[in-house]
């Protein structure tokens, strides 16, 4: 399973970013192989419509789970349509911390309705 986490920098030591579509980086972690891929988000300075475009990037990277602070309405619709589950991480820890919390079952699903 691939988990995508919004982050302020690359790698699993980077702090988690609360914003979804305008997060500076997306960190994708394959929970089976442990492989980590960080991509710089090209949408940071885009004018609008970043939510659905970010979802498309998560979908392209094969992510089935997203961990972030919160998502907007258009992103929520796209996540739901794409069958991607979103979980809320509101702490100030790293990508690795957020992933550990998720694995331990401590994160609440974000309401996409």
* Residue 56 or 106 having the CB closest to another protein: 56
Q: In sequence order, what are the residues at sequence separation of 6 or more whose Cβ sits closer than 8 angstroms to the Cβ of residue 106? A: none
Applying CB under 8 A, the span of 5-13, 24-32, 79-87, 91-99 interacting with another protein comes to: 79-87
Pair type for strands 85-88 and 108-109: antiparallel
* Residue 36 or 57 having the CB closest to another protein: 57
* Residue 84 or 99 having the CB closest to another protein: 84
Question: Applying CB under 8 A, does 49 fall inside the site for another protein?
Answer: yes
Are the CB atoms for 69 and 18 separated by under 8 Å? yes
* Chain contacts with another protein (rule: CB under 8 A): 46-53, 55-56, 59-60, 74, 77-78, 81-83
């Amino acid at each position: 399973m691939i988990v995508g986490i919004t982050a302020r920098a690359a790698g699993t030591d980077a702090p988690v970013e609360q914003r979804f579509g305008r997060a500076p980086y997306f960190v994708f972690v394959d929970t089976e192989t442990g492989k980590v891929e960080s991509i710089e988000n090209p949408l940071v300075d885009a004018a609008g419509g970043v939510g659905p475009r970010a979802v498309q990037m998560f979908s392209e990277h094969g992510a089935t789970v997203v961990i972030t602070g919160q998502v907007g309405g258009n992103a929520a619709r796209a996540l739901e349509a794409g069958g991607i589950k979103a979980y809320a991480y509101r702490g100030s820890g790293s990508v690795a911390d957020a992933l550990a919390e998720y694995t331990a079952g401590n994160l609440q699903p974000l309401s996409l309705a």
